[in-house]
Amino acid sequence: MAQRITAEEAAALIQDNMTLGVGGFGAYAAPDELLSALAERYERLGSPRALTAVCGISPGSNRPDGRGLARLRAPGLLDTVMAGHFANPPEIAELIGTNQVAAYALPLGVMLHLWRAIAGHKPAVLTHVGLGTFADPRVEGCKANQKTRAQGRDIVELVSLDGRDYLAYKTFPIDACFIRATWADEDGSLSMEDEGVGDYAAELAAATHNSGGIVIAQVRGIVSRGSLPPKSVRVHHPMVDYVVVNTDPALHMQSYAAQLRPELSGQLRRPTDSIPPMPLDNRKLIARRGALELRPDCLINLGIGIPSGVGVVANEEGIAQRITLSLESGPQGGVPVEGAGFGSAVNAEAIYTVADTLELYDGGMLDLSFLGAAEVDCHGNVNVSKFGSRCTGPGGFVNISQNTKRVFFTGTFTAGGLKEEVRDGRLVILQEGRSKKFRRQVEQITFSGDYAVKSGQDVTFLTERAVLKLTPDGLMLTEIAPGVELEQDILAQMEFRPLISPELREMDHRIFQASPMGLTL
């Protein structure tokens, strides 16, 4: 039976040099009361020091507001971060980028499957995920900075089985974890009714418990023993050591975008005609071009930012009911939330656990994926995870991009000050971006074009002014926007010259009209 304690008492259980698992998924489900108490204890006593924080998607806001894992930013508190993604909070990304904290960036699915393997006392996770990318030990071996490389620790090895290459990611013990739930019963069983994403609290709790560690849960409140429906119990009380009841609602928000939106947690449904349409800007042009690729009954993953607009356009066009959108955070179906609330969906049909979702992705369940692309090179390699000293980690990007049948990378053609408008059905470039995104060489390989070609993937790059396909001979330009000059607006804005299709054509003119495109499926 779990013991009820205060957040301050929970913080006192964390000792120097521990490996601490931290739940939460970006803006969602952060155990902020526990993290706040731990930070306050460190400020007061100088202990615990030199912690290794282990996260899936590290909890935090996309602004430097000190929430989530950023509460542990004080010098000396953290030594190492192991996570699928740590751009949010930006304070932690800065510590990693300035070499103050070591960091291992793992594909999100690998991290969650590691937790399951830790719980099962298995030595490693054996998978193809990450081959040819920064995670491959022949490239960077998941090491995010020089401080990490100086540790001399290798967390992934290349192995061969039946003549094929795989990566073996090594398991490790977890000494304690902070997780969050909606309710705990008097025994300590946990439910997640108010959470807007599929959780991985069960995986983290199991890994910690079976490592001989301490499992501490932050909850909204306590309910009577036996009052939680058995199917709603996500973490059973034998795995939970301590329960902390939230005392400040600001430290127990559904997400950093809202205290509670019940249409995100499946507790009610919201009319989708209340979702506003996108303005006709370059983001919408890209989303519309992506929407032209939709097919009836296809299962689609949408990344954050521009890719999520494909779902909004599908809703505008009245075809959202003919497709199923899937987010790696668990929601299946519905309309993905944009902005600070990204990761959840309005009116989801189902909410899987994150680990189950990514396992299905690894096996090729997705028909289409629309993902972002910060840098692309002539080989079709894509970088979304490292920019100068700023290292963000890949999130679920590697699991998704390596294993989807048809992958569409989306983004504006250039970046940094780019100004464009649509005028009379044509794209007008008012001010070119300062930074080229099609580079001779990407800074980090988050997606391997060579691996994709060998795997037979169908890979396309969608921008507001051009469409390119990945071929065995490199990138091929296949479409350009009406109003765009080939040499000046496309080729001169690339650091390499792509192949040009002998059937080069203009992008569909409906993309550039003010009214809906009239899509049917």
Task: Report pLDDT digits (tens) over 507-519.
Answer: 999 999 999 999 9
Residue 274 pLDDT more than 80? Answer: no
**What pLDDT does residue 265 have?**
86
**What angle in degrees, to the nearest 10, is found between the helix axes of 201-209 and 108-119?**
40
Q: 274-512: what fold?
A: Glutaconate Coenzyme A-transferase (3.40.1080)
pLDDT band at 341 (very low <50, low <70, confident <90, very high): confident
Task: Report pLDDT digits (tens) over 313-339.
Answer: 998 999 988 999 999 999 998 888 877
Encoded amino acid at 162, one letter = D
**What pLDDT does residue 424 have?**
96
Whole-Å CA distances, 80 to 18, 101, 208, 379, 513: 11, 5, 18, 33, 50
Element spanning 105, H or E:
strand 102-105
Residue 218 pLDDT more than 80? Answer: yes
**What pLDDT does residue 355 have?**
97
Q: Which of 203, 328, 375, 464 is catalytic?
A: 328
* Token representation of residue 126: 């054996």
**What pLDDT does residue 312 have?**
87
Residue 275 pLDDT more than 80? Answer: no
Query: For residue 133, what are the contacts with CB-CB under 8 A and spacing of at least 6?
Result: 139, 394, 398, 402, 445, 446, 447, 448, 451
Average pLDDT value for residue range 361-371: 97
Average pLDDT value for residue range 381-387: 96
**What pLDDT does residue 193 have?**
95
Handedness of CA 397, 89, 139, 106 (dihedral sign): negative
**What pLDDT does residue 199 have?**
85
Average pLDDT value for residue range 215-234: 97
Residue 388 pLDDT more than 90? Answer: no
Mean pLDDT of the chain: 96
**What pLDDT does residue 292 have?**
98
Residue 272 pLDDT more than 80? Answer: no
**What pLDDT does residue 338 have?**
74
CATH no. of 3-251: 3.40.1080.10
Residue 506 appears among annotated catalytic residues: no
Distance CA 24, CA 201 (A): 8
Least confident of 384-393, 431-440, 453-462: 384-393
Average pLDDT value for residue range 456-485: 98
Residue 311 pLDDT more than 90? Answer: no
Report the relative pairing of strands 390-391 and 386-387 from DSSP bridges: antiparallel
pTM metric for this prediction = 0.95
**What pLDDT does residue 462 have?**
99
pLDDT band at 277 (very low <50, low <70, confident <90, very high): confident
Task: Report pLDDT digits (tens) over 89-104.
Answer: 999 999 999 999 999 9
Positions of CATH 3.40.1080.10 in the chain: 3-251, 274-512
Residue 273 pLDDT more than 80? Answer: no
